[in-house]
Amino acid sequence: MYRDFAYVYDELMKDVDYDAWVDFIEKVFQTYQVRPERIVDLACGTGNITSRLASRGYMLTGVDISNEMLGIAREKSRKQGLFLQYINQDIRELQLHGLVDVIVCMCDGVNYILDDTDLKQVFERVYQYLRPGGLFLFDISSHYKLSEILANNLMAETEGDVNLVWFNNFDEKTNILQMDLTFFVRQGDLFKRFYETHFQRAYKNNEIIDLLRQVGFNIDKVCADFSLDPPSKDSERIFFCSVK
């Protein structure tokens, strides 16, 4: 995953309001009355949130399993004059040099962890590297979104020189959404075609909360759709705010 896709990811995501994501993260900081110095951004991708947080004065480390995505993130940061640390790691095996104030994982990073045991391991690693009182903030695409909106749909999208055909299949027994992506990328007068298959787990909120509690986190707030309001049955994005 995120190999060839890495090189067209930003083109396809250019309409995403990443500033709104970072505004929301800072809103959470204000709610908790914290001004963190060191933040780790898990599953950071091409660094769209990492770099924006860094530009607002925080010390950032980005972590991602895709070398290709990180290569793009590093180049973007260099062009912006931002000096960030990017680490190529599986977040299930997270290793940091010391404790940090805040760890975030945005834009479905948790959904890509398909197994309860693996997700608990991620939470354990996060807990290990947070300072006492440190904040863990992450989001998921909700069970409703993956199982009702995206499930078993065929979608097509065009952005600039990139065309995407996207077929989804949802397995109700495993709660896993399989996304088969076909890309057509213009190269001169021709198009290069490539494929990727992605899998995301549709978690219910109580499943996430239970795993966080098993690790030792205090789950202070569960909210939805870039507000601090509690989720409804048709909320599409759920945020979890947990404290060590």
Domain segments of the chain as ranges: 6-141+204-243, 145-201
User: For residue 116, is pLDDT > 70?
Assistant: yes
φ, ψ dihedrals at 238, nearest 5°:
-110, 135
Work out the pLDDT band at 6, boundaries 50, 70, 90: confident
Same fold, 6-141+204-243 and 145-201: no
d(CA 229, CA 202): 21
pLDDT, tens only, 27-69 = 999 998 888 999 999 999 999 999 999 999 999 999 999 999 9
d(CA 186, CA 104): 35
- Topology adopted by domain 145-201: N-terminal domain of TfIIb (2.20.25)
Mean pLDDT of the chain: 93
Q: What is the pLDDT of residue 1?
A: 60
22 secondary structure, DSSP code: H
Range in 4-8, 40-44, 84-88, 157-161 with the lowest mean pLDDT: 4-8
Work out the pLDDT band at 108, boundaries 50, 70, 90: very high
User: For residue 2, is pLDDT > 80?
Assistant: no
Range in 17-26, 58-67, 147-156 with the lowest mean pLDDT: 147-156
Closest by Cα among 125, 65, 124, 121 to 89:
65
Burial 188-223 (b: 16+ CB within 10 A, else e): eeeeeeeeeebebbbbebeebbebbeebebebeebb
pTM above 0.85, yes or no: yes
Give how far Cα 93 sits from Cα of 1, 102, 109, 118, Å.
Answer: 18, 18, 15, 10
pLDDT, tens only, 10-19 = 778 888 999 9
- Topology adopted by domain 6-141+204-243: Rossmann fold (3.40.50)
Closest by Cα among 126, 64, 114 to 90:
64
User: For residue 8, is pLDDT > 90?
Assistant: no
pLDDT, tens only, 119-129 = 999 999 999 99
d(CA 37, CA 110): 24
Quick one: average pLDDT of 143-148? 96
